[in-house]
Chain A
Amino acid sequence: MSTFTPDAVRELGGGWSEFRLAALDRFAAAPLPTPDEEIWRYSRIDQLELDRFVPATCTTTIDAPDGLVVDAEPELFPDETPDVFAELNRAFMSPVVIAVPAGRTVADPIVVTHTIAGSGTAVFPRLVIDAGEDSDVSVIERFVAADGADDDTALVVPVLQVHAAQAARVKYLAVNEVGERTWQIGNQQAVGERDSTTLLATVTLGGDYVRARTEARLSGQGGTTKQVALYFAGGTQMHDFRTIQDHDAPHTSSDLLFKGAVQDHAASVYTGLIKIRKHANGTTAFQTNRNLTLSEGAWAESVPNLDIETNDVKCSHASTVGPIDEEQRFYLESRGVRPEVAERLVVLGFFEEVIAQLPAGEIADDLRFRVSNKLDLTGARKELAGTPS
């Protein structure tokens, strides 16, 4: 018996029951995906037992200047959904809508924090960032475990929608620090109009299985997107990313830098697609994915793809999977740095390229600290628990 029923939709409240029930119908009519589908290849989606979770309202706090958080209306949510989980989100979503008026520059980052309660709940946060013409805004969306819920099971199915109007500048950062028994299956979709600039950044440290499909489409000429991510999986965690850079207008540029590390028996997947449509001449697109495998039993997969329909493009991709560079380690050790400290410095240095690009100056130190703490260095963990230098 499914827990994702029309009654459950009605019980949650949240309004627009017709809209939600229609989405639930579409969800129920479609099969759950399997790893046989290319977009779910390598994933753990076949291990998901959806009916073990009970839908709940997401507990969310928002730190934003007055007037920017507006009421949600069904019209804000596009009919097209990238997969069944985004559809399920439509049925059960807890929406937050940030609308930045044209010309407005929001000085400080807006912080949206979802506290995941665990206890087998499923939550469906949806964040909409609607940036008006020539506006400027940064938003940090945090997913954290509730106190004491670290070891609880939970399912988080977030959806992000970013719309950058002409010449708007949007910076977005998702920070995932959910508990180690939490599953997260998310979708991020950004659309950039003419001359807009969008940054989609993700930091994933938590979760059991965490998947993010992140799609940046450039619909107007002169638009720019950048996608960056830092992910670090340990234990038996799996971090799974599918990225799309979609050039749907001429003279657009996109850049992507995803850097990950895996240790213990953890796994990670990166699959990226650069799609350059026929009319997107004069486009530049770059895609870089680098992975460190820190333990013998850890596993990382990197699959870059190109789909280019025009000749007038400048496009490249690079991908690497491998252990810490032996030469770098020896160089530091030859100065008298202990091996475990050398490893910590090299791993932090590896991630620094991403951290430097995050729209979150004040949380950068905290992130370095968390990465440093997560490193499973034999016998060194306690010793290194202090503030990183």
Chain B
Amino acid sequence: MLNIKTKNRIIIFLSIFTLSIILTFFLLKTLRNNVLYFYSPSEVSKSDENSLKNNIRLGGMVKPGSVVTDNNEIKFIVTDYEKEIIVIYQGTVPALFAEGKGVVAEGKLQDKKFFLAKRILAKHDENYMPPELKESMKQNAK
């Protein structure tokens, strides 16, 4: 049914397609560390000493009950439920910054347990709901 030219074109197309998929796969595999926007506390604790010198982004959950504000300084713990890192930051935080919510901190590690942030970004999750519903969910939980 298909003539020979069409068949040839299908073969050309499929070979280019497979080739580009393989290429992209390896490209993304090599770039993996650059593609990651932030590291979790466990990834940070596994990394070698060299990474301490560079600016990195640290991401995770703000541990509930860990936020301490003092004048202009804010101190909290970022956790991924395995490892924890203490973050210190001077300045204002985004409106969505809250305990138990996601956060990304840009800055430098002082040591493996201590992070000096230059910028704080709030990360919000994929849940959207009206405030009344959130309230009733809280009450049900109690």
A is bound by B: no
Interface set of A (CB-CB < 8 Å, partner B): none
